[in-house]
Amino acid sequence: MTQKTAPVVVLVAPQLGENIGMVARAMLNFGLTELRLVSPRNGWPNPAAGPASAGADQVLNEATVYDDISTSVADCNRVFTTAMTVRRMLKDVITPAEAVRQALALPASTARTAWVFGPERTGLYSGEVAMGDSVISIPTNSDFGSLNLAMAMTVMGYEWMRQTTDQPARYLAGDETGPALRYDLDGLLAHLDTELTVREYFFPEHRAATMRQNVRSIFQRLTLTAAEVRTMRGVVKSLASPEQRISKG
């Protein structure tokens, strides 16, 4: 994916320094660094923000302050406001995932998007919500939907990271050998089959074929690594050998 400029985060009239700090932490957790504050209630800088940021000093030190929303987003191409519900206005309402998709669809060279969050107690007023090109509505439990400011930031930051990361959906940690060859897996299954056959596991005769298929199915579903096939061969060999008397001395 082409490198995209991460969105600017705008907090409108934030009340508590602790919340500004926690927002900064959540931003940096997901690679966002540009924080703008519109009329913070207790001025700026706020001594309570630092400790709550858990080390996201870079974000706080570079935060800038504005008198109104318009000025804070004047250099952006696309502005997303946030709201729990959108009432009495004709407005495009989108999910966090859709907001990030739209931001990533802008041309990389000019894209500059802003996410605007309201104050803790009230959220954005209706007229402020309307300033967004679109309004982001985070899907929540309709009976208990009020997210704390840092949690809303966490959702948006995670969504940004989810759509821009190159982390694979799934990988095998600590795998030094790679997936086993079918040759190795068939070797394990033949070994197991031999040991089970001499012990008359596959009984009665008319069920033997199905029983073999069921055993094979278990091991095939695992996608074993080459090292794991060797481990299982050792396990089968050990189970098939006589019990040892364990020395206590």
Q: Which stretch binds a second copy (CB under 8 A): 9-17, 68-76, 141-149, 241-249?
A: 141-149
Binding flag, residue 174, a second copy (CB under 8 A): yes
Tokens of 77: 């191409």
Selected binder of a second copy within 48, 106, 131, 138 (CB under 8 A):
138
CB contact set of 79 (below 8 Å; sequence gap of 6+): 73, 113, 114, 116, 131, 132, 133
Minimal distance, residue 198 CB to a second copy, in Å: 31
Binding flag, residue 121, a second copy (CB under 8 A): no
Question: What track of x and - describes contact with a second copy for positions 74 through 103 (by CB under 8 A)?
Answer: ------------xxxxxxxxxxxxx-----
Question: Which candidate, 130, 131, 15, 159, places its Cα nearest to that of 73?
Answer: 131
Q: What separation in angstroms does the CA of 81 have from each of 1, 34, 117?
A: 26, 16, 6
Taking the C-alpha atoms of residue 151 and residue 164, their distance in angstroms, rounded to an integer, is: 20
Taking the C-alpha atoms of residue 117 and residue 157, their distance in angstroms, rounded to an integer, is: 13
Smaller CB separation from a second copy, 37 or 100: 100
Residues numbered 221-240 forming contacts with a second copy, rule: CB under 8 A:
225, 227-228
Binding flag, residue 11, a second copy (CB under 8 A): no
Minimal distance, residue 162 CB to a second copy, in Å: 7
